[in-house]
Structure 1
Amino acid sequence: MLQVCLNGARRPFEGVPVTAARLAAQAAAAVAASAHGIHVHPRADGGAETLDGDLHRLVLAAIREAAPGVPVGVSTHEAIEPEPVARLAAVRRWPGPADGGPDHASVNWHEDGAVEVAQALHENGIGIEAGLFTPLAAAALAESRWPQRVLRVLVEAIPGTTPGAEGLWAAERIIAALGPVPCPLLVHGEEQWTWPVLRWAQRQGHDTRIGLEDTLLDEHGLRVTDNASLVTQALAGGATT
């Protein structure tokens, strides 16, 4: 499975899609290029990330109309709403998938209030992607009851955040700390680790992702402005299912 990550926390001046119309168009193009899932960070006016349920519904409706039948997920990362109580309250107000809410949402397991956010998503029928940036977070997830309840685990190798000077080593350490789990692993890197980690994950048979959230450069180091070209290159160079 290859997921496309459309925009992430990048700012509008970096050329990522922000409006519902642009997100829908890029989602459709990425799916036409054979992406199997979509990850998006909805934005408020001015381009700031938001947890607002009504705006989520609007963005997700546009994407689903453009790319029907493809699962669409969002983020709950703490920079959107740093205060844990307010973040949890916002997520609790989200509609479930049947009412226009996300099919799944990522929860960064090292963040304050992560378990409470995951519980709120679970109660609302929204799938959980457990995001692991570090071996410590992986160990905490492995020791909990949550591996049996999440849709997938995200092994996320992020330069400057994940321990290690090299992406493959960093991803391997997270996976080693996690141990065997009864759910799929989606393994990806960001920035200079994006392409090496993606190719390694493909060789290992893991799910992975690509998109402007993770990198603004193609595998040859050239600047790109659309997600579909990244999806095309990722699939052309590796084996995904």
Structure 2
Amino acid sequence: MPVTPGELAGAAADAVAAGAFMVHVHPRDDSGRETFETRHVVDAVLAVRAATPGLRVSVSTRDGIVDTARRKLAHVSEWPSPELGGPDCASVNWHEQGALEVAGASRDKGIGVEAGIWTPRAASRFVATSWPWQVERVLVELIPGVTPGSDGPWAAERILAALGMSAAPILVHGEERWTWPVLRWAQAGGYDVRIGLEDTLVLPTGKEARDNVELVAAAVRSGPGTPSQWPVPDPL
């Protein structure tokens, strides 16, 4: 698993060579823990850009990295704009406390917002705001035991129905045992897809994946080959 800025950069370059058009990374501090601290975020983003010029880089704002929504917002508000080393975009999970404030702080810095929608309820909350016309993309995330539904594709259909006609591109991906069924379903439906070690540790065959690159290559082989449907790797 890539951890340091150099490792993230190398993994990003290899993933692009395998067919990815963008990367989503989780910057870490010197001890290897995920962090929102500006210097570590900038170090990770700049390392990836140096290895793969022009590549769009997304970062996470997920809960659990800091202990309160207020601290998260304070960190995100300190990030520089993309031109000064900040990320190109940030994923914001719409069910999390303070999501609208974190999204607003990102937008104010010129950082694009990816709306993470895990449930139909979160989708309904999202469409009730003005944000559907402001986000860079919508991330429909299907997680067993969290997203309602007995299987990933069925759960995806429920969220997409709650979203209605989206003003932004939609990326659909699953995690754990739903990863590969959802990815194939999304590819067949013409949606953008994502794959990486945050989603699954195994290939479609059940064999443990060596790295993000092996996952990306398997995803490209499993579905349509147009660049808009190639995966966004997510090195946790």
Shorter-normalised TM range = over 0.9
Alignment partners' CA distance in 2, 1:180 and 1:145? 14
2:153 aligns with one of 162, 168, 176: 168
Map of 1:149-228 to 2, 5 A cutoff? 149-228=134-213
SS at match of 1:64: helix
Alignment partners' CA distance in 2, 1:51 and 1:37? 20
Q: How many residues align?
A: 226
SS at match of 1:38: strand
Paired AA for residue 182 in structure 2: V
When structure 1 is superposed on structure 2, of 82-91 and 108-117 the one drifting more is 82-91
Which residue number corresponds to residue 128 of structure 1? 113
Unaligned runs of 5+ in 1: 1-15
Alignment partners' CA distance in 2, 1:139 and 1:47? 36
Which residue number corresponds to residue 4 of structure 1? none
Alignment partners' CA distance in 2, 1:190 and 1:33? 21
1:28 aligns with one of 7, 13, 16: 13
Which residue number corresponds to residue 234 of structure 2? none
Paired AA for residue 223 in structure 2: G
Which residue number corresponds to residue 229 of structure 1? 214
2:69 aligns with one of 57, 72, 84: 84
Q: Which runs of 4+ in 1 moved over 2 A?
A: none
Report how far residue 104 of structure 1 moved: 0.2
SS at match of 2:2: coil
TM-score of the aligned structures, taking structure 2 as reference length? 0.94
SS at match of 1:193: helix
Map of 1:40-59 to 2, 5 A cutoff? 40-59=25-44
Paired AA for residue 142 in structure 2: A
| Pairwise CA RMSD | 0.8
Which residue number corresponds to residue 5 of structure 1? none
Which residue number corresponds to residue 233 of structure 2? none
Alignment partners' CA distance in 1, 2:113 and 2:34? 19
Alignment partners' CA distance in 2, 1:225 and 1:233? 12
Which residue number corresponds to residue 139 of structure 1? 124
Report how far residue 22 of structure 1 moved: 1.1
SS at match of 2:48: helix
Which residue number corresponds to residue 3 of structure 1? none
